[in-house]
A and B are shown apart, each in its own frame.
Chain A
């Protein structure tokens, strides 16, 4: 009986050993891939360059546009030489003041870069200090946008003060006052910007380069510059009343 049990056990172990040997073996280990290289650090210059604002081209700047719009007006009269400013309404027409054109035996216009243009015709407002002149040749740039002005708004006066170089004078609109006592039939802008003789006829621009008025004088009691605002300007131009330039000595 014991022998039979031992035989059975031996048979089972033999069977187990046979079973083990019959199983599939495990696959050989895969060859490990080389480690990935470290990621490089991006040069901080990239971010600096990417964030750096590209400067506006000079030829497109607000200053340049303002300069191109404005002209120097030379009035040769029996009383000598006088100068003022003006600005282009279109390629051949400019707006200025009556007193800039008045009494002229000869009118000459110079652009910011020194080009001279002859004035072919000129007219002045009969009751208001406005003048319009047409030139032979092409003005560099016409005023393309206009806007109203409000008290406190930052403005720039562009012109040729004292007949000297073209200047841009910054300031603010003080207020709009009744212009009757200041020679204008309508509201008038008072400005803190530096306005001198020779600025007359030059434009007053807002922060976006839009024309908001035209300089025509200085308030002697306060020193504020005076300008005819766009709304008044439109009404006066629409009302007409322009006449030939008065001859020298008539005013």
Chain B
């Protein structure tokens, strides 16, 4: 009887021991697999991080280039603005000069008329004609030319 009890206990102990060892080995295998997976993930993470860092470096480089381009664009825009401002000034100066030129042409035309009137008057005087009309015409036209010149000088004091 005792023999049977000892044998049963020993069998149970043997079974328990074997089962536990099987479980332990299974867990060891799982742990090993998990460790391999973790290592693979760690390797992948390392690769991804290195790639990300390269992208960040590229991004930084591109940002610096873009900033330089923006600065260059700003400078170019400033140059263009300066040139355009100068062009506006020159266009205005040109327009003023043309106004003055047209006004001077008007004055010159008045004096040309005055001159012709005086020639006509002298011709009439030399011919012994009545110069009343020619004198009045010359007087009016030359007066008008003088007024035109005074107006011109008032508008353009520097001549």
Closest residue on chain B to residue A24 by CB atoms: B25
Whether B10 lies near A13 (C-beta < 8 A) is yes
Could you tell me the distance between the alpha carbons of A181 and B14 in the complex, rounded to whole angstroms?
Answer: 122
* B12-68, CB < 8 A from A: 13-14, 17-18, 21-22, 24-25, 28-29, 32, 35-36, 38-40, 42-43, 45-46, 48-50, 52-53, 56-57, 59-60, 63-64, 66-67
Shortest beta-carbon distance, A199 to chain B, in Å? 15
**Chain B positions within 8 Å of A32 at CB level:** 35, 39, 42
Which of A4, A34, A112, A163 interacts with B3 by CB under 8 Å? A4
A-B contact count, CB below 8 Å? 165
Give CA–CA (A74, B97) in the complex, Å.
Answer: 12
Q: Which residue in A4, A25, A36, A164 is a CB contact (below 8 Å) of B46?
A: A36
B32→A110 contact, CB < 8 A: no
Does B140 lie at the interface of the complex (its beta carbon under 8 Å from any beta carbon of A)?
A: no
- Indicate whether B11 reaches chain A with its CB closer than 8 angstroms: yes
Most A CB contacts (10 A, CB to CB) among B38, B63, B64 go to: B63
Select which of B64, B81, B106 is within 8 A of A45 by beta carbon: B64
In chain B between 54 and 91, which residues have their CB closer than 8 angstroms to a CB of chain A? 56-57, 59-60, 63-64, 66-67, 70, 73-74, 77, 80-81, 84, 87-91
The 7 nearest A-B residue pairs measured at CB? A12-B10, A114-B91, A26-B28, A36-B46, A33-B42, A33-B39, A165-B92
